[in-house]
Structure 1
Amino acid sequence: MATCSLNDLLGLQSPLEGALQEAESQEERERLVLEYLEKVNGRAAGLRAPDFSPGLEWLNTDGSLSLYRALSGKLVVLDFFTYCCINCMHILPNLHALEKRYSDTDGLVIIGVHSAKFPNEKVLDNIKSAVLRYNISHPVVNDADATLWQELQVSCWPTLVLLGPQGNLLFSLVGEGHKENLFLFSSMALKFYKERQEIKEHRIPLRLYKDSLPPSPLLFPGKVVADPSGDTLVISDTGHHRILVVSKDGQILHTIGGRGSGWKDGGFSECLFNSPQGVAIRGNTIYVADTENHLIRKVNLDTLTVSTVAGTSNQGVDKEGGAQGEQQPISSPWDVAFGAPGVLWIAMAGTHQIWALLLEEGTLPRGSLLAAGTCIRFAGSGNEENRNNSYPHKAGFAQPSGLAVCSADPWNCLFVADSESSCIRSVSLTEGAVKHVVGGERDPMDLFAFGDIDGKGINVKLQHPLGVSWSHKEGILYVADSYNHKIKTVDPKSKSCVTLAGTGTAGNVPGPSFTDTSFNEPGGLCAAEDGRLLYVADTNNHQIKVLDLETKMVSVLPVFSAESADVVDSALPLRINNPKLPKSTPNVRLAPLSVSPGRTLHYSLDLKLPAGAKLTEGAPSFWFLFTEGHDWLLTGQKTYGEIGTLTKPSQIEVTLPLQFPSADPELRVGVCVYYCTEGTLCMMKSVSFLQPLHTSTRDTSGSSTAPLLLSYAF
C-alpha cells in the first residue's frame, strides 16, 4: 500500500486555510470544510498514512493498535508530542475536550504518538509517569525511534494529524492555538463519513495506566521550598492539585486544595488548583505558580484563604504585559521567587520569558516606576532560544522552569534553569543583562546540546534541568538535573559544575552515599537557610528526599497526618537524632524481665494494620530503641531498623553490658508505622513498648531460647 507524507497534503490544505480566514460565518466555514473533504477523499488512495511499526510499546490499551485493523472505520487524531514540551502540554486541554465531546463509539479516537526529544524521554517508564501526570486517557504509543514522525515528515512538536476511516490523510495542525479548527475539522469529518456510512461504532479496548497507580501521600511533587525559619516546608503536590505546608518532620500542617483540578478561590478546603508547580514563602504568605490554570495565586496562612493575584485562567499569548495582575493573561508559570524590594519573579515557561509581579510600587532594572499589582515581562523576547544579551528584552529563553534569587555580591542576579536549552542562565538584577552560566551551546538556536558531562562553562552538559536553589552559606547553586536523574552543584564564579548526588539512572534507592542514591526526574530543590539540609522534590518517585550535606546521608521525608505535632525527627528512617513519639502514643507495659549482665535479649515485632491497609512505600516504617536515664544500656547497640514487611516480623537484639551502673533500668522500643488505605492520606501511627529489667545474681548470660513477642494492632 502506497503511503504519503504531510508535504503531499500541504498543497490541498493551504487554500482551505486561506478561505477559512476570510469566511464570514460558521455556516460558510463548515461548507468550505465539506467541499475540501470531497476533494481530498477523492484522492484517498494516494493519501494513505503509514501504519504503526510492529513491536512498539503501547500505553492505555490492551495491546498494539493498527490504523488498518482496530482503527479502521474511525476518525483518528494523531498527536505527535514529547512530554517535556510546554507547547504539547498546552494542547492537552483541547484534546481532553475533544474526547469529552466525541468518544470511540461516535467514531473518533485520539492516539498520542510520543516522539522523544531527549534520550530520557524514550524510556517507557518515564512516558508512563508523564501519562499519569498529565491525565492522558487515550492510547499512547512510544515511537522511540521517531519512525512514524520521519515517514510522515513531521517537523515540530506538537503536530496533530487527522486521518479518515481508511487511514487517509485529511488535515494537519502544527503548533498550538488551533482548538477552533480542530473541532471544526473533526465534526465535519465525522459528519462527512457518517453520511457515507464509513464510520464504525466499535469500542477500542482500553486499559488505563492510571488505574494501576497505588495511593500515595504525594503525587508528582513539582517543587519544594523551606521557610527561612527552617520550621516548615511548602510542597507543590502537583498530581493531587494541592499545596501542602508540612513541618520539617513531615507532618501536614495545612492542606490547601486537592479536591480535584479547577480554579476556585476561598478557604483551604474549598479552593482549587490545576497542577501547581512553583511556590515561594515569606512570613505567612505563599505565592503559587498555578501552572495549568495560567495563574499566580496567593495563600494567606493567617486567614486560611487563597486568592488570585495574576492571570485570567485563560492561556495568554501577550509577550509584553503591563496590566494589573488579574487583568493580565499569562502562560504556564512554572516557578516563582521573591525578589527585593517587593517583586515576585515568575518563570513564564509558556512564553519562554521571565516576568515580574510588583507586590508594591517600584521599578525594575532599566525600567520606569510601576504601580503595585503590575504584571509585566522583564526578560526574554518570547522566541524559544538560548540567546544571551545585555538588553533583557532581546535575550531568548527556552521554557524557563526554575528560579533562584542570589542577592550576594558580585552576582545580585536571578539564576534560571532553562530547561529546553539544557543550561543554567543568570539575569542581572542590577542592569538586566542575561548571561550564560553552564550547559547548552553557543549557537542560540541549538536546543539539542544536552548530555551528562561535568566540567566548566559551555563544556558542561545537562539534560532538561527544572530546578535551582542558591545556598547563601556555601555560595553555590544546586541544580535539579532532571532528565539525568541527578543533583549537581554549580560555582558561578568558576562556572564549574559537578555531580553531588544520583547514579544517573532513574530509580528510587536512598543509598548509603550521595553517589549511590537514585532519583527519578527530580523537578525542584531547596537548600535550607542553615546550609545543612537540601530538600529535593523527587517527582516521579512521589517523594521529598532529604540530603544531609554534612553527614552525606539521604532520607525520605515522611508526609503524614497526625493528631500531634510532636513527631519523630525528619531524617528518619535512615538516621535518628533524639527520636520522639507523639504525645498520644499508646504505651504497652511488658512484664518485668529478670536479666543478668551480658545476656542477649531477642524481640520480635508482631504488628497488625486495619483491614485493607498497606505499608506506605516511600515513607518506610521503623523501630528504634531508647531509654530514660539509662543510656548505658544502648552503648554499642543497633538502635533502629526499618520495617519492610509485616509478613516477616522484624527482629530486635539487645546485648546487655557486662556491668550495670544502676539497678532495674527500663528499656523502651518505639515503633512508627506509615500506612495507607485506598483513597486516604498516608497515616502515621505509633506505639511504645516499655520493658522493665530486673538485675539477677543468677548467671543467665547468653541468648534467650525464644524471642519475646511485641504485639500490637493499630
Structure 2
Amino acid sequence: MDTNKHPGDLSSLDKLRLCQFELSQRINSILDEEEKKIHVVKYINDIICSNTEVYCPDFPLDLDWVNVEQPLSLSKHLNRKIVVLDFFTYCCINCMHILPDLHNLELRFPENRELIVVGVHSAKFENEKVLSNLMSAVLRYNISHPVVNDPQGWLWKELQVICWPTLVILGPQSQVLFTLVGEGEREYLQLFCETAVEYFRMRGSIISSPVPVKLLRESLPVSPLLFPGKVCVDDVGKRVVIADSGHHRILIMNREGVVEHVIGGKEPGYKDGNFLQAKFRSPQGIVWKNPSIVYVADTENHLIREINISLRVVTTIAGTGYQGTDKVGGKQNKQQPISSPWDLCLGCSIGSEVKDVLFIAMAGMHQVWMLFLENAKWLKGSSYQKGTCIRFAGSGEEVNCNNSYPERAGFAQPSGITIAQEEKLQCLFIADSESSTVRQIMLKDGAVKAVVGGERDPKNLFSFGDKDGKGIEAKLQHPLGVSWCSVKQLLYVADSYNHKVKVINPSAKTCTTLVGMGKAGYNSRFRFNEAEFNEPGGICVTDRGETLLVADTNNHVIKVINLVDDTVSEHPVLIVSDETDSCEHLKLQDNFTFTSSSFWDTACIIHIPTVEMKQGGVLILMLDIHLASGVFINDEAPNKWQLNFSDSSKLTALQMNADINIPIQLSVPVEPRTISPVKVDVDVEVHLFLCKKERGVCYTKIVLFKVVIVICKTGQLEASLNLKCLVE
C-alpha cells in the first residue's frame, strides 16, 4: 500500500505548512532583510486572499492557567492580536533552549500587547500533568508569559503538533500563519512575527489592549534556597556546596549549615571575578577537586566555571557563553562551545591515579563530554592537552541506544553523572532523564550499557513509571541525580518525577525504593515510610555511606537521609553576613540595634547590649517575637530556636532546639568554676516559617540575636532580658 500523501489528500494544515516550507526555501538564500519581509508579506497575503485560512479553536473552558488573573480566550482576550503558541513540556531541554528566544520577542512588544506569547503545556510525563508541578516549573524557569495546562493534549491534537518544542503563530482572527518546529529558529521567529504585526497593523486588524497577566513569581517563597539543583560534599565531609539554582548562586557551608561563601546571586548573568562580582545563570552540577577548587556546570550560560576558594575568584574554563551545536569538540577552554551542561564528576585519565578529567553530563547535546584538567592520555592512547573539551560518548541523537562504540551510543538528556573508579567497575553511571533510565559508560573502552529502566526499543522514550525490579522491568520517571557509594557498592538515584530516592545494585541490576511516597509533598523530619519529596534533583553520598544529602528542588531545601536510623530531616542553611542588603522587614522594639545581612531579606542579626553576670548566676532570655498584621506562623513547619556559644564550657542551657512557642523562656545557668572576668558570646537563632493571608504565600525568616555576657564579680546573680522584635 502506498502510504505517501498525494497533493489532493493533504489536509489544510499540511498545505499551509508546505507553503511555509516553500517560503523558507526562498528566503534562505536572501541576505537583504527588507527583501525577506516582502516574501513573507506575499505569503500572508496569499493565505488571506485565497480564503484557505486554517483557524485555531479556542481554549477549552476547563483548562487551568498560570500567570494570569483569569483564563484567557482567543475570541475575547487575544482577539485581534498576533499570538505565539509555544507547545512545550517542562522536562524538555530543547523547550528550555527556546525560552530566551521567546523572552527576546516579548521585549520587542512589551506594553502595547499587539503580540503575546502563550505557553501550551502538553505534558510528556504523568508527573508533569499536575498543575502544582507545572507551577513550580514556571517559577523555576522564570516564564513570564501566560501558560495553559493542557494535560490531555487537546490543542496539540487539533493543530497536529508532533514534537516539542513547536511554535504556532496565529493571526488576529486566530488563523494559523506559521509553524516552527524545534529549537534554533530565532531568526525565523523574529522575522515572521515582526512582519505579521506590521502587515496587520497597517490594515487596522490588530489592537493594543491589555491582557490580564499576573505573574506567579510574585508569590515566590522567601527562603534561603530557591529550587536547589545539585548538592555535593568535599572529600573529608566537612563542607557542603549547593547549587542554589533559582537564586543563580553557589553556596559553600559547613556541616552545621553555616554558609561560609555566597558566590553569585539574585540576578542571573555571566561574569567572572571575585565572589561579589561573579554571576551565574541557573547553575546545576557541582564537584570538588580539592579543598580549594569547586567546578560548576553553569547550565543556562552554557559554561563550565571554576571557583577558587583560596583566591576567592571565579573563572570560566569551558564554553563561549552561547549555546553550541558542535557534537564532537576538541577546542580549548573558552573556544569550545557547549550546550546546557547539567552535572559533573571528577575522574582519572586511563592508567593514572591523578584526578584530572572532568566528566560532563551535556544535557543540551544528549551526550557525555570530558574536559581535561591536565595533559593526559585517553582511549587508544590518544593524547590531549590541558583544557581540551571533547565528546566522550553519544551521537547527539536523542535516543536510548547502548553500543560498544561510545560515539554510536545515544542518550536522551543526561542530567546526572557519578563515577565508580574501583578496579572491578571503572565506569560512569548516568541518570538519563528523558529515557527514564540509568546507564553506565565503561572507562576502559567507552562501551555504553543499560543498568535499569527504559526498554529495548531505543526510540521509545515513553517507557517510564514507578516500579521496583530488575533491568528493564524496573521503571523510573525522569531521574535527575545519581551518586555512587564505594563503601556499599550501591548507586543512589534521585527519581525526580516519582518524588523518591531509589537504590540500585549494579552487579544484580536491581532497583528498589529507599524512601519517598511516590507523590509530591513536604515534611521536615520523618521516618522512611512517611518522608516526602518534591522533584528531588540532586543527591550525594557522605559519611562513608551512612547519610545522603538530597536537593529537594521544589521544596527549596536540602534533605538529610540517615541510613543508620532510617530518618529524613531538613539540613539547616544559615546565611549570616554583613556584606549586603538591609533588614527592613524587622522593626526592633526597645533600643537594640541590628546589622545588615546577605540572606536575601530572610535573616537579620540583632545585637543586644552586654549583660554582666556573677559566677553561678542565671540569665533568663525571653523570646518575644511579634508578627505584623496578616502574618501567621505555619504550625506544621519546623519552627525552632537553637543556641550557639563561643565557649560552651562556660555556659550551659537547660534545653536546646525547642519548638517555637512564642513567647518562650530560655534559661542559661553560669557555672561557679568559671574564672572571671570572662566574655562569652551567645547566639540565639530563631527559625520561623510564616505565611501571609492576603497573598496566600509562605516563607521563612531567621532572626539571630547576639547576646554578649561578661562574667565578673560585680555582675548579677539573677537577670532577665527580653529579646523583642516585630517580624513582617
Same fold (TM over 0.5): yes
Supply the AA of the counterpart residue of 1:430.
K
1:713 aligns to 2:713 (yes or no):
no
Choose which of 58, 61, 84 in structure 2 pairs with 1:54.
Answer: 61
Quick check: 1:533–1:546 contact (8 Å CA) kept in 2? Answer: yes
Choose which of 266, 269, 282 in structure 2 pairs with 1:262.
Answer: 269
- Assess, with a 3 A threshold, how the Cα gap between structure 1 residues 210 and 450 changes in structure 2: closer, same or farther: same
- Assess, with a 3 A threshold, how the Cα gap between structure 1 residues 522 and 76 changes in structure 2: closer, same or farther: same
Tell me what 2:280 maps to.
273
Supply the AA of the counterpart residue of 2:538.
G
Quick check: 1:625–1:639 contact (8 Å CA) kept in 2? Answer: no
Q: Secondary structure of the residue that 1:515 maps to in structure 2? A: coil
1:282 aligns to 2:289 (yes or no):
yes
Deviations 1:5-49 (A, max 9, x none): 743421221210111112242222111101101011224564111
Quick check: 2:230–2:286 contact (8 Å CA) kept in 1? Answer: yes
- Assess, with a 3 A threshold, how the Cα gap between structure 1 residues 246 and 183 changes in structure 2: closer, same or farther: same
Tell me what 1:76 maps to.
83
Quick check: 1:471–1:529 contact (8 Å CA) kept in 2? Answer: no
Deviation of 1:515 after TM superposition, in Å, equals 2.4
Choose which of 664, 674, 680 in structure 1 pairs with 2:687.
Answer: 674
Supply the AA of the counterpart residue of 1:23.
I
Choose which of 48, 71, 95 in structure 2 pairs with 1:64.
Answer: 71
- Assess, with a 3 A threshold, how the Cα gap between structure 1 residues 605 and 263 changes in structure 2: closer, same or farther: closer
Tell me what 2:588 maps to.
none
1:552 aligns to 2:566 (yes or no):
yes
Quick check: 1:105–1:202 contact (8 Å CA) kept in 2? Answer: yes
Choose which of 386, 389, 397 in structure 1 pairs with 2:403.
Answer: 389
Supply the AA of the counterpart residue of 1:152.
L
> For residues 651 and 122 of structure 1, what CA distance do their matches in structure 2 show?
48
> For residues 614 and 253 of structure 1, what CA distance do their matches in structure 2 show?
31
> For residues 591 and 612 of structure 1, what CA distance do their matches in structure 2 show?
43
Tell me what 2:114 maps to.
107
> For residues 262 and 631 of structure 1, what CA distance do their matches in structure 2 show?
46
Task: Note the residue ranges of structure 1 that are not aligned, 5 or more in a row.
Answer: 565-581, 596-601, 655-661, 664-668, 691-707
- Assess, with a 3 A threshold, how the Cα gap between structure 1 residues 317 and 629 changes in structure 2: closer, same or farther: closer
Choose which of 504, 523, 526 in structure 2 pairs with 1:509.
Answer: 523
Choose which of 547, 556, 564 in structure 2 pairs with 1:533.
Answer: 547
Quick check: 1:132–1:209 contact (8 Å CA) kept in 2? Answer: yes
Choose which of 322, 325, 329 in structure 2 pairs with 1:314.
Answer: 322
Please say which of residues 401-410 and 35-44 is displaced more in the overlay. 35-44
> For residues 651 and 667 of structure 2, what CA distance do their matches in structure 1 show?
16
- Assess, with a 3 A threshold, how the Cα gap between structure 1 residues 590 and 64 changes in structure 2: closer, same or farther: farther
Quick check: 1:452–1:463 contact (8 Å CA) kept in 2? Answer: yes
Quick check: 2:525–2:570 contact (8 Å CA) kept in 1? Answer: no
> For residues 257 and 639 of structure 1, what CA distance do their matches in structure 2 show?
34
Paired-residue identity, %: 49
Supply the AA of the counterpart residue of 1:672.
E
Quick check: 2:493–2:504 contact (8 Å CA) kept in 1? Answer: yes
- Assess, with a 3 A threshold, how the Cα gap between structure 1 residues 516 and 141 changes in structure 2: closer, same or farther: same
Q: Secondary structure of the residue that 2:342 maps to in structure 1? A: strand
Q: Kindly report which structure 2 residues correspond to 1:85-484, keeping only aligned pairs within 5 A, or say none.
A: 85-103=92-110, 105-283=112-290, 284-341=292-349, 342-366=356-380, 368-484=382-498
Supply the AA of the counterpart residue of 1:641.
A
Q: Secondary structure of the residue that 2:98 maps to in structure 1? A: helix
> For residues 313 and 621 of structure 1, what CA distance do their matches in structure 2 show?
43
Tell me what 1:542 maps to.
556
> For residues 194 and 165 of structure 1, what CA distance do their matches in structure 2 show?
10
Deviations 1:110-140 (A, max 9, x none): 0000000000001111111111111111100
Please say which of residues 522-531 and 220-229 is displaced more in the overlay. 522-531
- Assess, with a 3 A threshold, how the Cα gap between structure 1 residues 640 and 688 changes in structure 2: closer, same or farther: farther
Length-normalised TM-score, structure 2 = 0.83
Deviation of 1:642 after TM superposition, in Å, equals 2.0
Supply the AA of the counterpart residue of 1:334.
W
- Assess, with a 3 A threshold, how the Cα gap between structure 1 residues 474 and 614 changes in structure 2: closer, same or farther: farther
Supply the AA of the counterpart residue of 2:293.
T
Quick check: 1:240–1:260 contact (8 Å CA) kept in 2? Answer: yes
Tell me what 1:22 maps to.
29
Deviation of 1:561 after TM superposition, in Å, equals 2.2
> For residues 638 and 233 of structure 2, what CA distance do their matches in structure 1 show?
20
Q: Secondary structure of the residue that 1:377 maps to in structure 2? A: strand
Deviations 1:162-207 (A, max 9, x none): 0000000000000001000000000100110011100101010111
- Assess, with a 3 A threshold, how the Cα gap between structure 1 residues 404 and 614 changes in structure 2: closer, same or farther: farther
- Assess, with a 3 A threshold, how the Cα gap between structure 1 residues 367 and 395 changes in structure 2: closer, same or farther: farther
Choose which of 636, 641, 650 in structure 2 pairs with 1:622.
Answer: 641
Supply the AA of the counterpart residue of 1:167.
S
Tell me what 1:705 maps to.
none
Supply the AA of the counterpart residue of 2:165.
P
Q: RMSD of the TM alignment (CA)?
A: 3.5
- Assess, with a 3 A threshold, how the Cα gap between structure 1 residues 364 and 620 changes in structure 2: closer, same or farther: farther
> For residues 200 and 348 of structure 2, what CA distance do their matches in structure 1 show?
61
Tell me what 2:600 maps to.
none
> For residues 230 and 374 of structure 1, what CA distance do their matches in structure 2 show?
30
Supply the AA of the counterpart residue of 1:308.
T
Supply the AA of the counterpart residue of 1:291.
T
- Assess, with a 3 A threshold, how the Cα gap between structure 1 residues 583 and 607 changes in structure 2: closer, same or farther: closer
Deviation of 1:681 after TM superposition, in Å, equals 9.4
- Assess, with a 3 A threshold, how the Cα gap between structure 1 residues 620 and 534 changes in structure 2: closer, same or farther: farther
Tell me what 1:685 maps to.
704
Length-normalised TM-score, structure 1 = 0.85
> For residues 52 and 376 of structure 2, what CA distance do their matches in structure 1 show?
65
Supply the AA of the counterpart residue of 2:281.
N
- Assess, with a 3 A threshold, how the Cα gap between structure 1 residues 75 and 512 changes in structure 2: closer, same or farther: same
- Assess, with a 3 A threshold, how the Cα gap between structure 1 residues 303 and 629 changes in structure 2: closer, same or farther: closer
